[in-house]
Amino acid sequence: MSEPKKLFIKTYGCQMNVYDSERMAEALGGQGYVETKSADDADMILLNTCHIREKAAEKVYSELGRFKGLKAEKPELKIGVAGCVAQAEGEEIMRRQPLVDLVVGPQSYHRLPEMEAKTRAGEKALDTDFPEEDKFEKLKNRPKAKRGPTAFLTVQEGCDKFCAFCVVPYTRGAEVSRPADRIIREAQDLVERGVREITLLGQNVNAYHGAGPNGDMTLAGLIWELNKVDGLERIRFTTSHPNDMDDALIEAHGTCEKLMPYLHLPVQSGSDKILKRMNRSHTAESYLRLIERIREARPDILMSGDFIVGFPEETDEDFQATLDLVEEVKYGYAYSFKYSTRPGTPAAERPQVDAEVADERLQRLQALITRHQRVIQDSMVGKTVVVLFEKSGRQPGQMVGKSEYLHAVHVSDADVARGDLRKVRIKSSGANSLGGDVI
């Protein structure tokens, strides 16, 4: 029996890319590949790329350059680029870096087996189409290996919002939602393999409108259907747009037992002027009133957000409006970035904010966010949370998991195993985690 071929995948960017990488591995598993954690002993290397951040393509080319020596030592080694940079750059990747054998966009990775066969025949393989067939159905026969207690599940892809700073509509395409019955089947399969918590993924996940038995189903409807899945204990979703946070979804946060009290709801700026120029289609005030309604439905919910500072034409007053909004919301988590131009997007052609000014604003914003995060985390001391344990900690006898609020929690010398859901009394708050005792 021949030795299995080894596949090394490096994943950049969001949780959707993590999910996609899992599916790529499954697609190539049927071709005799098993995953390896080292590029050095791989027969195929795949870079699953993200195009959101600054100089994303150049970072990919730099990474590819590191494989030149490896390719020279192993001429039979196949190297591929997948994901959003692949979609944006296309055959330019092969032109600039001839060692690349395969380029596949995020909507075409179900075709990897055919593309891999083509490379083994000595040809280059390129596919950045937006095919009509359902890539998820093409790959529905997952290997039945055991899984960890948490998993991602993509339910929606693409975005129709066309924010002025974002390339997603160009790299992932228009909004497409998977049929509800297929998502339920996949969730059931994951649970059978050991998963207890599922995070539903989408570029704009709360715009979900997949086909259901009685017409299109909203995200709230899908969550209620998943709530019926025996063995599934926790449901989360990310990433959402404020404009698609409907009444039913808000109500679900207050009434659906399995839906966790954590919500990532990006606002990007506290300035109405900047929000308009970002094409966000909401105001700071409408966002704050939405937060109020969500907290009325679930008072203990932990809010998370995204912010961009230094957006073209942002003034000191605009930035202060962002600080004011953060001060009012008091996020438990938030992710902040300095604006970077994405070629082909409307904002790239506008007057840019001085880099030093943007850097200083980012530091001030992150300091404020960190202060709120720490206050909220420290406030958990003395409370009881329910922790889903996921892995061993760094110390002997230590186990680590996540609370309902997504806080990392560690316990020591407790009789708990991976996948256990246990109540924990919090007794300490560190820089990035909570410590406690199992009750």
How far out from the chain centre does Cα 369 lie? 20
Please report the domains of the chain, with CATH numbers, ordered by start residue: 5-127 (3.40.50.12160), 135-378 (3.80.30.20), 384-438 (2.40.50.140)
Query: For the chain, what's the residue count?
Result: 439
Interatomic CA distance for residues 17 and 12, integer angstroms: 7
Distance of CA 283 to the CA centre of its chain: 25
C-beta separation of 116 from 78 below 8 A: yes
CA 276 from chain centre, in angstroms, equals 25
DSSP per-residue letters across 53-73: STTHHHHHHHHHHTTHHHHHH
How far apart, in whole angstroms, are the C-alpha atoms of residue 409 and residue 388?
9
Residue 301 sits at φ, ψ, to 5 deg, of -60, 140
Q: Could you give the CA distance from residue 100 to residue 82 in angstroms, rounded to a whole number?
A: 11
Digit-by-digit pLDDT tens for the chain (439 residues) are 568 899 999 998 778 888 889 888 988 988 889 999 999 999 999 999 887 666 767 888 998 999 999 999 999 999 999 988 888 888 899 999 999 999 998 878 888 999 999 999 999 999 987 665 565 666 555 455 567 899 999 999 888 899 998 888 777 788 899 999 999 999 999 999 999 999 999 989 999 999 998 889 999 999 999 999 999 999 999 999 999 999 999 999 999 999 999 999 999 999 999 999 999 999 999 999 999 999 999 999 999 999 999 999 999 999 999 999 999 999 999 999 999 888 788 898 899 999 999 999 999 999 999 999 999 999 999 999 999 999 999 889 999 999 999 999 999 988 999 999 999 999 999 988 999 999 9
Structure tokens at 84: 């959003």
DSSP secondary structure string for all residues of 351-420: PPPPHHHHHHHHHHHHHHHHHHHHHHHHTTTT-EEEEEEEEE-SSTTEEEEE-TT--EEEEES----TT-
Q: Which residues contact 225 (CB under 8 A, 6 or more apart)?
A: 180, 184, 217
d(Cα 122, Cα 36) in Å, to the nearest integer? 24
84 is in an annotated binding site: yes
Measure the CA–CA gap between 333 and 262, rounded to whole angstroms.
Answer: 10
First to last CA, the chain: 51
Q: What residues form DSSP beta bridges with 134?
A: none
For 73, residues 6+ apart whose C-beta sits below 8 A from its C-beta are: none
163 belongs to an annotated ligand binding site: yes
Contact 77, 45 (CB under 8 A): yes
Range 363-371 contact pairs with CB under 8 angstroms and sequence separation of 24 or more: 364/323, 365/307, 365/309, 365/319, 365/322, 365/323, 365/326, 365/336, 366/336, 368/323, 368/326, 368/327, 369/307, 369/326, 369/331, 369/334, 369/336
Its pTM stands at 0.79
Contact 157, 274 (CB under 8 A): no
Within 10 A of 313 (CB to CB), how many other CB atoms are there?
13
Looking at residue 142, its pLDDT comes to 47
Q: In sequence order, what are the beta bridge partners of 388?
A: 402, 421
Q: CB-based burial of residue 264 (10 Å sphere; 0-12 exposed, 13-18 middle, 19+ buried)?
A: buried
Helix (H) or strand (E) holding 251: helix 247-255
Is the CA virtual torsion 274, 249, 234, 403 positive or negative?
Answer: positive
Instruction: Report whether 54 contacts 1 (CB < 8 A).
Output: no
Contact indicator for 172, 16 with CB cutoff of 8 Å: no
